[in-house]
Structure 1
Amino acid sequence: MRSGADGLRLLASHRPPRDGLDRAAADALVRDADGHPQSLDLLAELAAHSDFRRLRNRFHAPGADILVHPRSPSPRPRRCSRRAASGHGATRPSPDR
């Protein structure tokens, strides 16, 4: 566990809070993550592309845990290529010898 100041420094390592509300959300995220360094590091990576208020809302939103599935709260379905869909290029496992 990290202290509040250390946790905030880690959380804001990719981007500092933009204003007072963003700073308050960042402080709250440090508390929400209980100062856990790995959680704060993952949150810092996500914060580089968002603000701390949105990130905190995602952290508490129902659904996928952003620490487990950090890319998006609702992942888009993957497209498969025509080759994969048609079965061309598929390989078969070799028999044990």
Structure 2
Amino acid sequence: VSALTAQRHNERIREGIISPKAHVNQLNKHASKVDLAWLVKWFTKLAVETGEVVPVRVHTQRKVDGVAKKYYSSDKYIMPPPYFTWERLY
């Protein structure tokens, strides 16, 4: 893929012209089997027990009166370890 093609697609995504349709897990059998409330509790417990505190900087950009303004926020998040597998979720 050429650089111009990638740039064009990135611009379309930023403008919201290309976006995936929300399927709300109607046809996704694997996602519909996961108990979401249990999953949130499990991730929270995992992060507290074995996670690391990581400083995270979030960048957002909003247009106000046609002028793009950049906002930065910093916070410390607890990140779960990367070595857990999907077998734990089912």
* TM-score strictly above 0.5: no
Pick the structure with greater CA Rg: 1
The structure carrying a bigger helix percent of its residues is: 1
TM-score tier, shorter chain, comes to: under 0.3
Q: State the TM-score, normalized to the length of structure 1.
A: 0.23
